[in-house]
Amino acid sequence: MSTPVAPLYPVMYEGLVRAALLEDLGRAGDVTADACIPVETQARALFQARHAGVVAGLAPALSAFSLLDPSLSVRTLVADGAHVAPGQAVAVVEGAARPILSGERTALNLLGRLCGIASKTAELVRAIEGTGAHVVCTRKTTPGLRALEKYAVRVGGGSNHRFGLDDAVLIKDNHLVAAGGLRATVERARAHVGHMVKIEVEVDTLAQLEELLTLPVDAVLLDNMTPATLRQAVDMVAGRLITEASGGITPETVRAVAETGVTLISLGWLTHSVTNFDIGLDFESL
């Protein structure tokens, strides 16, 4: 059984949901709903999954309705992390029809994106089950949505890489060029950061890895290596560092990568190119 994921505090998403609503409502509000729907009209609307997957992001998505009209009744029918079947209802909104219609697209945009990320993460986690490797996301997130997208990865059973530039050192090829080589860069980084800050270095070859193993680092990012080369790298590290495989990994190759013995498998496309999960909001007759 997977460990429940701690929910997000409203303060972590209300600002971005508010911004999304303002973007949609513009300067004049929802002119379609205001023109067509009498103000007293009541409605009941169901969020329904159009195909199977994992639900994530119900609280931020549904907060769109509460921000527009606090009197609306908003109920979840499943919890984040639930595996749902096609046609299954996941939430219901009841009350004045106008604000339900006005919040519909913002709520669906958020829910579809986050469910898509959680569903694909869960698929990858299942694919590498039993190997000991962990699926992790990257900083390749939608601007403004990082906290939510990384939350969706956790809901799907994955783990998070660093959240930003300020929570760990990750030395990549451009850093090495700018700073004057591997040893000088690592030694400068270690002298600069505190004892709580981890240092990871990206390497492209086994020769670079051999040099890195003589330096004071915590993790190595093995970039764009074949499974055979990854296996050699893991043998060289021999448990002394956290090993992370990255670059060009797909659902079709992820199992082979995991079986090399790497600790982490990072996938940028998990948050920047994942397919949206199809969820609809359908009004029912009262």
Predicted pLDDT at 92:
98
> Residues of the chain whose pLDDT is less than 50?
1
Predicted pLDDT at 3:
67
Q: How far apart are CA 38 and CA 36, in angstroms?
A: 7
Tens digit of each residue's pLDDT (9 = 90 or more) over 132-175? 999 999 999 999 999 999 999 999 999 999 999 999 999 999 99
Can you read off the two tokens belonging to residue 135?
């699926």
Please give the span between the terminal C-alpha atoms of the chain, in angstroms, as a whole number.
40
The residues that are catalytic are 105, 140, 172, 202, 223
Cα maximum dimension of the chain: 73
CATH superfamily of this structure's domain 10-117+275-284: Quinolinate phosphoribosyl transferase, N-terminal domain (3.90.1170.20)
Q: Burial-class residue 127 by CB neighbours within 10 Å (0-12, 13-18, 19+).
A: middle
Q: How far apart are CA 277 and CA 120, in angstroms?
A: 10
Average pLDDT taken over every residue of the chain:
96
Helix (H, G, I), strand (E, B), or coil: what is residue 272?
helix
What does the radius of gyration of the chain's CA atoms come to, in whole angstroms? 23
Predicted pLDDT at 4:
80
Share of the chain above pLDDT 70, in %: 98
Predicted pLDDT at 1:
44
Can you read off the two tokens belonging to residue 149?
């997208």
- Listed in order, the ranges of the chain carrying CATH 3.90.1170.20 are 10-117+275-284
- Listed in order, the ranges of the chain carrying CATH 3.20.20.70 are 126-273
Spatial contact of 44 and 283, defined as CB atoms under 8 Å apart:
yes
Q: Is 126-273 assigned to CATH 3.20.20.70?
A: yes
Predicted pLDDT at 16:
97
Tens digit of each residue's pLDDT (9 = 90 or more) over 4-17? 899 999 999 999 99
